[in-house]
Structure 1
C-alpha cells in the first residue's frame, strides 16, 4: 500500500510538471490576442516572467525541461499503477508529449 502511495505522489508531481509548460503556452495565447505587433506581444509576454527567463529561448527551454520531466515520470508510473491512475498517467503522457513537440517545433 505504501508503495502505491509513492507512485500516486509521483503522478501528481508529473501533473505539476505538465501544468507549467501548459501555463506558459496558455499565457502566450492570451498575450497574442492583446498586442498589435509581434514585438509588442513578446514584450508583454516577457513582462510576466522573472529576469532570468528574459532570454530568447529561456521560456521555451524551461517548458521543454518540464515537459520531458512529465513524460519520464508518467511513463515510469504507467508500469506501477492501475485503473484511474494509469489513465491519468496516459493523459499526462499524451499532453506533455504534444507540448514537448510543440515547443521543439517552435524553436525551428
Structure 2
C-alpha cells in the first residue's frame, strides 16, 4: 500500500512542477512572447543604478527589486515594449518611464 501512495505522490508532485514552469517566462526568441529579462534589470535602490544606462541595463522600481522574475516582450533590453513582474499573487504589469538614469520600469499594484 505504501508503494502505491508514494508513487501517486511522486506523480502529483511531478505534474505540479511541470505546470509551474508554464507560469514563468522562458526565453524563446519571439519578440511577441514574454521572456525572462530579469538579468537585464538593476533595482533602483541598488548602488549600481547610477551606472545602469551606461552598462545597457534597465531600472526596476519595485518592492521586489530583481528577486522576482521580470518578463518582457521584445528581443533585447533596448526594444522592450511590455514588461510584467511576478509578485506573491501573480503578475503585475510594469509601466515604462524614461529617467535621467535610463529607462525605468515601475511596479504599480
Q: Common fold, TM-score beyond 0.5?
A: no
Q: Relative to total residues, which structure has the larger strand share, 1 or 2?
A: 2
Length-normalised TM-score, structure 2: 0.33
More helix by share: 1
Query: Normalising to structure 1: TM-score of the pair?
Result: 0.33
Q: Which has the higher contact order (CA 8 A, sep 6+)?
A: 1
